[in-house]
Structure 1
Amino acid sequence: MTGRRHSSSSSTSPRSQDSVRKKATTRVRTALLNAGALVAVGSMATACGVIPGTTGSSVNGTVTVMTWAPDKTSATNKPGMPAMARAYARYVNAHGGIAGHKLNVLTCNENNDFVGAARCARTAVKDKAVAVVGSYSQYASSSLSPLESAGIPYIGGYGLTDDEFKSVLSYPVNGGQPALLAGLGEELGKSCGPVALVRPDTIAGDQLPVLLDAGLKAGGHADATDLLAPEDATALDQQAQQALQKAASNPQLKGCVVPSLDERTGTFMDSFRRLSDSYPAVRTASVLGSVDQSVIDASGGKSGPYEGAYVTSWYPEATDARWDPMKKVISEEAFGDNRIDPADAGVQTTWIAYAVLTKVIESLGNGDITAQAIRSALDNGLKVDTGGLTPTLRWRFQDLTAVVDFPRLINSDVTLQVVHDGRLVGARKGFVNVGKTLENATSE
C-alpha cells in the first residue's frame, strides 16, 4: 500500500471501483506470505554472517535512535513528529536520561518519496541507530527493507501503509488507517444516506474504500462512492461537486461526504463550502490526520462545514487530561515551536512510540541497548502502559489480532469524536474495537 501514482487529469480513475477494491484486497492478502518470506530472509542473512541487530548499540551510555517524516513537500507534511522526538530527548536528558542512558535522536526528512524514505533508513543504519521511533512515511516498503537487513526495529509508525503491519520488525502502536476507516464506516452505516469517499489517487489510497466499505457493511449500508483526487491538487471543485451530487441523491436520507486527504482535506473543503449551498444539506465525516482542531478553527469553527462531523481517532481527544504529561514536555522543551501541535495525530503517535522505547530501555537496565535487545524485549512480552492513551500494548505472537492481512496489528481500538460548537469532543466514552470489521474487510 505504498508509493505514489501519477494522477490523471480526470477526477476519477478510469478503473471501476470494483477493480480498485479487488486490487487493494489482493495486495493485502499477501501479508502472511510476506511475513514468512521475511523470516526466511533473516535466517539466510544470519547464515551468511550478517547478524541482525549488531549494527548499532548504546555508546558510552548514549542510545541513538531516529525519527523521520516529510517536511516542506507539496503533499502531506509532518514536521511536528521529529520536533516532538527532539523535545522528548531534551526533556529526558535534562532529567537524568532513561535508566541512566542519554537519548540521542537523529531526524530525517523523507521528502514524501521512495528515494527519500530509503535514504533516511540507510542513514539510520550508517549512524548506528538502534531503533526508528514514531515516524511517518507512505513509502514504508522503501524504508523498511534497509532496516530489516540491519535488524533495526521500527517502533510506532504512523500506520499509513500495510507494510507497517506486515514486517516482523515493525511494532505498531495503533491500528493505522485500516482501523480509522473501518471505525468511521461503522458509525456512518448507522445514520447516513448515500456516502461519498474522496481520497488520494495513490497506491496508498487504493485501500481506503475497502476499509470504509467494510465498516458501512457492518451497519447494513451500501458501499461508498469512490472519488479520487490528485495528491498535490490546488483545487478540487470537480470532486466536491461529484461528492455533493452523490450524498444528496436521496432526498429522504441525509447523505455523508468523507474526505480523507490528509493536508489536502482543507483544499477539498474550500471547494465543498463554495458549492454546498446549491445542494441539500449533507453531513461531513473524516479521520484524525485529515481533520484536527486547527483545521476546524481555520474553516470557521462552529459556523464551518465540519460542525456535526464525526471524526475517528486512535486516541482520546486532545483536551483529555491523559495528554498532560506530553503537554508538559512541549511546554518545557518546545514552547513556541509551532511545528508541534499537541492535537496532531502524528505528534501524539510519536509521544506514544517514545513511551514504548522508554519502557524497553528501562527493562534492559544498565547493559548495552542494542537493536537485538530491543527486539527481544518486545517479542518476549514486554507490556507498555501508555497511561490510558491506548490499551496496554504488547507484541507477542499471541497478542496479534486475527486480521490475516495485517499480521502485526495488535491494537484495533479507535475513539469516536464529533465537532460540537466548533470543538472536537468525544462522541462517546472509551474505545471502540473494530477488529471484527477489519477481519471482514479482508475476507472477501
Structure 2
Amino acid sequence: MTGRQQRSSPPRPFHRNPVARVLCTVTAGVSVVTGCGVLPGGPGGSREPVTVMTWAPEGTAATNMPGMPAMAKAYARWVNAAGGIDGHELRVLTCNERNTSAGAADCARLAAKKDVTAVVGSYSQHGDAFMAPLEAAGIPYLGGYGIAEREFSSFVSYPVNGGQAALLAGNGMQLGGECDRVSIVRPDTITGDAMPELLNSGLSKGGKSGGDKGEGDRATDIRAAEDATDYTDSAERARDNASDGCVTAVLGDRTETFFDSYRRLPDIGADIRISSVLGSVGQPLVDRTGGSKGLFEGAYVTGWYPQASDPAWGPMRDVIREHAFGDDSIDPAEPGVQTTWIAYTALKSVVESIDRDKISSATFSHALDKGAKVETGGLTPTLRWRYEDMLGSPGFPRIVNSEVTFQVVREGRLVSLKDGFVDVRGTLSDAGPSA
C-alpha cells in the first residue's frame, strides 16, 4: 500500500506490566523475547502479537554475529515498553544458525513451525539452505545482512542494503581512482567466488584508465581459508602482486587475522595502501590495532551506511543503552547490528501501515509488495519493494538500495571520505549474472 489507511476506530492498545521479562523455549539454541502484556483475548483487548525470528551464527570457528539477535531482543524490549507496535506486542525468536547449511535450514524450518510473520535482520551465507523452507511457507525475509546471493533473487526476500555485492562494487570504485594494481584476498567459498568480478566491475568504473579494461581494472584474486589462524602465504602473494597499489581483504572475522599476518611481513612498503569493507574492518578493529599509529591509518573502507558517529544512529544507541542491559555483544559500530536495527525499523513501519488485529506472513508480504514505504532517518534512502523499485539486474534483481558510503581511517577514526551516498546501481548491472 502506498500510505497508511484511514482507521474507522482507534487501535486497541497493547497493555503490559511495568517490568519486561525474557522467556526461553526448550528448543536448544532458540530463545524468545516478549513483554509481559495482556495477551489476545484477555481483558485488555490487545491486538494479536507479531512474532518474528532473527538468526545469526554464534560460537563458530568462522564468522560470528551475536550482536544481531541481541539487537533484536533489545528492540523488542524497547518497543514493548512503549505499548508494542500499533498495539501489537512484538515477540522475537532467535536462532543460532551455526554457520552451516544444516543449521540455517533448521532455523528456517523452525520459523515455519512457529508460524512467524517474518524473519528479520538476520545473517547467513547459506541462502540455498534457508530460503527454500521460507519460500515454501511464504515467510518474508526482511533485511538480511546481504551475504547470500539468494537474498537478492528470492521472491520472499526484501533487502535493506545492496549486500556484499554493493560493498565489493563500491570498494572497486573507491580504489579504482587511487590504485594502479589491486590484490583481493577473499574466502575460498562459493560466496567468495563472486567477489573478484564485483570488485573488477567497480575498478573499471572508477579506474584511472577511464573504464577501458586495462591491467588496473583487474584485481589479482587470492583465495584463502575462511577459518585460518595464519595468512602469511596469502599476505605475501597479496603484497607481491600489489606493488604501488592496494591490498583489499574481505574475510569477515578473519580479516583481523589476515592483517596481523600482513603487518608482520618484511618490506611491506609504504607504497601499498590497504582496504576492506565494513563488516570485515570497523572502528573496534582499528582501535585494537593501534588506532592512528596502527596499520589501518589511511585505509579505505566501503560501507552501506553513514559512519558510526553520525547523529542518525542516535536512536539506536539510546535503545542499546536503555534496553540491552549491558550486553557487550552489541557493538553499535558493527554493520550486522546496524542492519538489524534498520530491518526492525522497517518491520515497525510496515506493521503500522497495516490496520488489522492479526498480521500474518501473507498480510505482511502483501503490504511490502504493494509499496509500503520505510524511512530510516537518513541511514538509507527511502526503502520500498515494489517491482519498479528493484534493480532488475539478472544477478541481483531484488536490490532496492544500491547506495554505499566511502570511508577512510584518519587519526584513528573511521570518517566519511565522500559526503553522502554513492550509487553503484550501474556497476552492479555491469557485473552481470556470473557474479
8 A contact 1:185–1:216 mirrored in 2: yes
The corresponding residue for 2:129 is 142
2:245 is aligned with 1:265: no
8 A contact 1:291–1:311 mirrored in 2: yes
1:129-182 per-position Cα deviation (integer Å, ceiling 9, x unaligned) = 110000000001101111111100000000001100000100000000111111
Give the SS at the match of 1:404: coil
Give the SS at the match of 1:247: coil
2:315 is aligned with 1:339: no
Higher mean alpha-carbon deviation, 357-366 vs 191-200, is at: 357-366
The corresponding residue for 2:236 is 241
Number of aligned residue pairs: give it. Answer: 381
1:222-249 per-position Cα deviation (integer Å, ceiling 9, x unaligned) = 200000111110000000111111112x
8 A contact 1:109–1:120 mirrored in 2: yes
Distance, in Å, in 2 between the alignment partners of 1:294 and 1:63 is 34
1:355-395 per-position Cα deviation (integer Å, ceiling 9, x unaligned) = 11101111113421100010000000111001110000000
1:87-146 per-position Cα deviation (integer Å, ceiling 9, x unaligned) = 000000011000011000000000000000000001111111110000000001101111
Distance, in Å, in 2 between the alignment partners of 1:318 and 1:417 is 11
The corresponding residue for 1:377 is 367
Question: Could you state the TM-score of these two structures normalised by the residue count of structure 2?
Answer: 0.86
2:69 is aligned with 1:82: yes
Query: Offset of 1:327 from its aligned partner?
Result: 0.4
2:343 alignment partner AA: A
The structure with the largest helix share of the pair is 1
1:64-103 equivalences under 5 Å are 64-103=51-90
Distance, in Å, in 2 between the alignment partners of 1:268 and 1:293 is 17
The corresponding residue for 2:8 is none
- Cα pair distance change 1:244/1:99, threshold 3 Å: same
8 A contact 1:312–1:414 mirrored in 2: yes
Give the SS at the match of 2:428: helix
8 A contact 1:120–1:143 mirrored in 2: yes
Q: 1:152 aligns with which of 139, 144, 147?
A: 139
Query: Offset of 1:428 from its aligned partner?
Result: 1.3
1:237-266 per-position Cα deviation (integer Å, ceiling 9, x unaligned) = 000111111112xxxxx3100010000000
Distance, in Å, in 1 between the alignment partners of 2:266 and 2:293 is 14
Query: Offset of 1:305 from its aligned partner?
Result: 1.2
Distance, in Å, in 1 between the alignment partners of 2:425 and 2:392 is 8
**Cα RMSD for the two superposed structures:** 1.2
8 A contact 1:245–1:279 mirrored in 2: no
8 A contact 1:400–1:410 mirrored in 2: yes
Distance, in Å, in 1 between the alignment partners of 2:401 and 2:294 is 33
Distance, in Å, in 2 between the alignment partners of 1:278 and 1:77 is 30
8 A contact 2:392–2:398 mirrored in 1: no
2:421 is aligned with 1:431: yes
8 A contact 2:350–2:373 mirrored in 1: no
2:81 alignment partner AA: A
8 A contact 2:183–2:246 mirrored in 1: yes
8 A contact 1:395–1:410 mirrored in 2: yes
2:281 is aligned with 1:294: no
Distance, in Å, in 2 between the alignment partners of 1:376 and 1:160 is 25
2:228 alignment partner AA: A
2:428 is aligned with 1:441: no
Distance, in Å, in 2 between the alignment partners of 1:376 and 1:276 is 58
Give the SS at the match of 2:65: coil
- Cα pair distance change 1:103/1:307, threshold 3 Å: same
Q: 2:352 aligns with which of 359, 362, 370?
A: 362
2:200 alignment partner AA: D
Q: 2:274 aligns with which of 256, 281, 284?
A: 284
The corresponding residue for 2:16 is none
Query: Offset of 1:209 from its aligned partner?
Result: 0.2
Give the SS at the match of 1:226: strand
Give the SS at the match of 2:388: helix
Give the SS at the match of 1:216: helix
The corresponding residue for 1:318 is 308
1:327 alignment partner AA: R
8 A contact 1:188–1:216 mirrored in 2: yes
8 A contact 2:174–2:302 mirrored in 1: no
Q: 1:163 aligns with which of 150, 154, 178?
A: 150
Q: 2:407 aligns with which of 387, 402, 417?
A: 417
Higher mean alpha-carbon deviation, 112-121 vs 404-413, is at: 404-413
8 A contact 2:200–2:217 mirrored in 1: yes
Query: Offset of 1:349 from its aligned partner?
Result: 0.3
8 A contact 1:67–1:133 mirrored in 2: yes
Query: Offset of 1:331 from its aligned partner?
Result: 0.5
Greater relative CO (CA pairs within 8 A, separation 6+) = 1
- Cα pair distance change 1:288/1:282, threshold 3 Å: same
- Cα pair distance change 1:341/1:412, threshold 3 Å: same
Query: Offset of 1:278 from its aligned partner?
Result: 4.8
The corresponding residue for 2:385 is 395
Query: Offset of 1:281 from its aligned partner?
Result: 3.2
Query: Offset of 1:187 from its aligned partner?
Result: 1.5
1:96-245 equivalences under 5 Å are 96-218=83-205, 219=207, 220=209, 221-245=216-240
1:428 alignment partner AA: K
Give the SS at the match of 1:191: coil
1:238 alignment partner AA: D
The corresponding residue for 1:309 is 299
8 A contact 2:49–2:358 mirrored in 1: no
Distance, in Å, in 1 between the alignment partners of 2:268 and 2:112 is 55
**Structure 2 gap ranges (5+):** 1-38, 41-47, 210-215
Give the SS at the match of 2:184: strand
8 A contact 1:100–1:366 mirrored in 2: no
Higher mean alpha-carbon deviation, 236-245 vs 279-288, is at: 279-288
Question: Could you state the TM-score of these two structures normalised by the residue count of structure 1?
Answer: 0.84
Distance, in Å, in 1 between the alignment partners of 2:88 and 2:171 is 41
1:389 alignment partner AA: L
